[in-house]
Amino acid sequence: MIRRLFIGMAGAAALALAPQPLAAQADPSAQEMDQAMAALGAMFPAEPLTPEQEARLPQTQRIINRVIPEGTLGEMMGGMFGKLLGPILGAAGAPAIDAVVEGTGLGADTLDLTPEQSEELARLFDPAYAERHAREVALMPALMRDMMTVMEPTMRKAMSELYAIHFTQKELDDIEAFFQTDSGTAYARKSFTMSSDPRIISATMESLPQMMGAFAGMEQKMAEAVADLPAKRGFDALSKAEQERVAAITGRSVVEIREGLVARDAE
């Protein structure tokens, strides 16, 4: 579970950030990944800086070097994972069912196993599954720290541009003067690392019931927001001609579509 989670995030990030020849060797679908990343980037176009903003970049870069001291993002992410997600994953115990799913190819939702049965089968496929899980959990803070370290230069560049856009020259002068002090330097580093302090984590956990309460009314609010729209139509509500048109476009027969709907509802 942990390995798949991390590889999914790290693989995409590493492939996107790797030099093109390396990326092409790492995955035959690297070109498709590059195209997908380019398409995502195109969804968030940024206005070019004005000459005045460009002129402020040297100063904003100096400020960002103090606001985000080198290694700060990695330190923050490693600390956050180690203090928050690490204990949660560790408390959950070794995921025996994951070893069974990987060994059998069966979906977890299709297996009706007791914990004892899951552990017995897991040991057959991977006698060291529990130790493997423990080592993966222990390694995650360092891996997450490395990922954020790779991202840090890009984040510095983006933040420097944002400071140049959103702050006037007078404001930048005041900000830089503060961060040149010992207090400003301490604030810059501690403001990031404090995000993984047990007090923040505890406060987050205490807020979960209220957050879940807020989510509870979300479905009702969404229903009210679309109440005046025409009702959705299920496949069986379509006319015969419409059903045949759906079948022709999808390449599936009407029977296959109905069978798929039945399987979906069963899940």
Cα four-point dihedral sign 202, 204, 208, 210: positive
DSSP, residue by residue, 181-212: SHHHHHHHHHHHHGGGSHHHHHHHHHHHHHHH
Say which DSSP state 230 is in.
P
Quick check: is 125 in a domain? yes
Domain identity same for 23 and 112: no
Task: Confirm whether pTM is higher than 0.85.
Answer: no
Low-confidence ranges of the chain (pLDDT < 70): 1-30, 78-94, 196, 214-215
Tell me the residue length of the chain. Answer: 267
Question: What integer pLDDT is reported at residue 161 of this predicted model?
Answer: 96
* Tokens read off for 185: 């330097």
Domain identity same for 59 and 127: yes
Domain identity same for 59 and 172: yes
Quick check: is 225 in a domain? no
* Residue tagged 């790797």 (tokens): 18
Contact 65, 156 (CB under 8 A): yes
Question: What integer pLDDT is reported at residue 24 of this predicted model?
Answer: 40
Domain identity same for 33 and 144: no
Quick check: is 243 in a domain? yes
From first CA to last CA, the distance across the chain in angstroms is 22
Quick check: is 135 in a domain? yes
Cα four-point dihedral sign 59, 62, 68, 70: positive
Burial of 132 (0-12, 13-18, 19+ CB in 10 A): middle
Region for residue 266 given its phi and psi (left: phi exceeds 0; alpha: psi -120 to 50; beta: otherwise): alpha
Domain identity same for 7 and 95: no
Domain that holds residue 251: 235-266
Cα gap 184→191, rounded to integer Å: 10
Domain identity same for 40 and 136: no
Domain identity same for 22 and 100: no
Domain identity same for 112 and 176: yes
Question: What integer pLDDT is reported at residue 29 of this predicted model?
Answer: 62
Number of domains in the chain: 3
3-state secondary structure labels for all residues of 144-160? HHHHHHHHHHHHHHHHH
Quick check: is 218 in a domain? no
Domain identity same for 152 and 179: yes
Give the rounded distance of the alpha carbon of 132 from its chain centre: 23
pLDDT tens per residue, range 17-51: 333 333 344 454 667 777 777 777 778 888 899 99
